Amino acid sequence: MKKSPRPRLPSAKKAPALPVYKNSALPAEKRVKDLLARMTLAEKAEQMRCVWQDKAKTLVDEQGNFDAAKAAAAFKHGRAIGQVGRPSDAGAPADRPNFGQTARGMAVLTNAIQKFFLEQTRLGIPVIFHEECLHGHAAREGTSFPQPIALGATFNPALVEELFAMAAWEARARGTHQALTPVVDVAREPRWGRVEETYGEDPWLVSRLGIAAVRGFQGDRSFADKKRVIATMKHFVAHGEPEGGQNCAPANVSARVLREVFLSTFKATIQQGGAISVMASYNEVDGVPSHANRWLLRDVLRKEWGFQGFIVSDYYAIWELGHRPDTHGHHVAADKKESCALAVRAGVNIELPDPDCYLYLEELVKKGVLKERELDELVAPMLLWKFKLGLFDDPYVDPEVAARIIGCDAHRQLARKAAREVITLLKNDDGVLPLDAKKIKTLAVIGPNSDRGLLGGYSGVPKHNVTVLEGIKGHLGGRVKVVHHEGCKITIGGSWQQDAVVLSDPAEDRHQIAEAVAIAQTADVIVLALGENEQTSREAWNLQHLGDRARLDLIGRQNELIATMVATGKPVVALLFHGRPNAITELSAAVPAILDCWYLGQECGHAVADVLFGEHNPGGKLPISIPRSVGHLPVFYNHKPSA
């Protein structure tokens, strides 16, 4: 008897094999090799570019929301981009660039942009979002703690690590992957407007706090918990002693000083801290601009120190290898094509902030000026960290988590703790401090910095920003009458975003001083808030946005205000708020009690009140020397015996 044939079952179709680079079970290095082999020349070049201001034309609408139609038009045929700069400022008005996305809004935006590049481009390569995090995430609602020069006064690496871990979490919760921070420049030129961004003049202190900041940002570099971001060491190198104190001017230092002072902080933060990224500096060293300096970026950074991460350009700095009309140029390149070639040969992995000189990458390879393998070498480490950040596998963030943790009470308390540790007692004759509220009926709070936000540069818009006047009133709770007057102005307006520096009118200032004297005479004690504002000490990035100075005296009629307050015969306590050390010979001679506060962040007023009334002992130390005048320069404690 014949057996019936067994019926054939339909065979299950095999799922197509997953490309190696999409297999999360494989090592990141293997995935990079596979992906790089699949990429066209154009796709490699795209990974070396970023959009920042251009995102308004390519990714977001006027309100800062993701615009799918714009994205599809800008990134046709599966095109991509390496980074997106500062999604936090999407939709912000031009005069308030930090007043952009809320915490929840930015998380939604970064998710949408990431989804587009993962799903609508040929290879699905995710983007890195970078942000400024100098003293907290410089964004709307982000917690703002003291400026780095102020943190230098704490001499407390553990605190610095805790602060930057907080900043990393707030930034990452919104979708950020890379912080363009910390600054480990050694500040040896107080006329320079960027002193506030540094930890001071001592290479050892700078390196210890720099390492702490890197560890806060990066943790163990696994990035598994989505609470950490890549740290970017800047500005490489010798930016902190520019000729004449002018931002971007040459660093005229010897090879020994370069090694012992300026390179040492970067070496420590890379080899001991594990920093993943470095930003080249605007200036030149020994006649060679950093963005074209093969010796600096290849021989020292990569070969000597074993750096395996990636180098980002400072904003527009590759363009400035030639000439940038609104600011300056090094004139070592004839045009943007030559600037592109110089930067690639030096080893700059990506151009920030918008597509510019690196738009010529493909053309230069096709013409034989550059070789494709040179691009491979620069693209590979950036892809590696996209894999290690988990962006190919789990790139999205939870908007509700962002809304809950950013600017929360716990972070606010940490910012207050840091602000208290910063405050440095410079003088306390006759035991004026601490003030005893029980013995004061009326307290006068006077001065141009008495009732304004004092965050300093690279700041966002925190949920809370407590002024000196508000902090004192809150502490006293009505038990003491508090009277107030501005006294005089430093400049008109004085905000970081305000480009033009407009000096105050002397006659108006003197009228204000007379009014302040009348108010101060009714008080038992005078608290005098002086120093600088965000305009007079800041990064000078073009001819209309200045911040370096030729003199270090207190600006305007502040010394006249000091003299009149002392003349009332009342006890005077001076609070100094500034980004750089000022020449304060008149102040130090006349006023019995002086507290140096630098910029204390959003909890400024609370911290000041805690110290004034004895709740906290001012234990800060000076991270930088105070010159008597510009004629005293250069002045730093670790000078040679012959100096």
Residue in 523, 514, 450 with CA at minimum distance from that of residue 482: 523
Pairwise CA distance, residues 80 & 122, whole Å: 8
Structure tokens at 344: 């690639």
Q: Would you give the DSSP letter of residue 13? A: P
> 564-597 in b/e burial notation, b at 16+ Cβ within 10 A?
bbbebebbbbbbbbbbbbbbbebbeebbbbbbbb
Annotated catalytic, 34? no
Q: Which residues of 453-485 are buried (b: 16+ CB within 10 A; e: fewer)?
A: bbbbbbbbbbbbbbbbbbbbbebbeeebebebb
* Under 8 Å between Cβ of 538 and 491: no
* Tokens, residue 384: 């590696």
What's the rounded Cα separation, in Å, for the pair 415 and 406?
A: 13
| Of the candidates 104, 23, 16, 92, the residue with the CA atom closest to the CA atom of residue 56 | 92
What are 1's two structure tokens?
Answer: 């008897």
Instruction: Point out the catalytic residue in the list 54, 89, 314, 356.
Output: 314
Q: 273 is written with which tokens?
A: 């801290």
DSSP string, 104-142: HHHHHHHHHHHHHHHHSSSS-PPPEEEE--BTB--SEE-
Could you tell me which of 194, 145, 11 has the C-alpha nearest to residue 604?
145
Nearest to 229 by CA among 120, 130, 162, 336: 130
| CA distances in angstroms from 488 to 2, 136, 359, 435, listed in the order given | 112, 30, 50, 25
**What is d(CA 509, CA 399) in angstroms, rounded to the nearest whole number?**
48
Pairing assessment for the beta strands 572-577 and 310-312 based on DSSP bridges: unpaired
Strands in 525-531's sheet, in edge-to-edge order, are 424-428, 593-596, 572-577, 525-531, 442-446, 481-485
Partners of 66 in the beta sheet? 60
Catalytic residues: 314
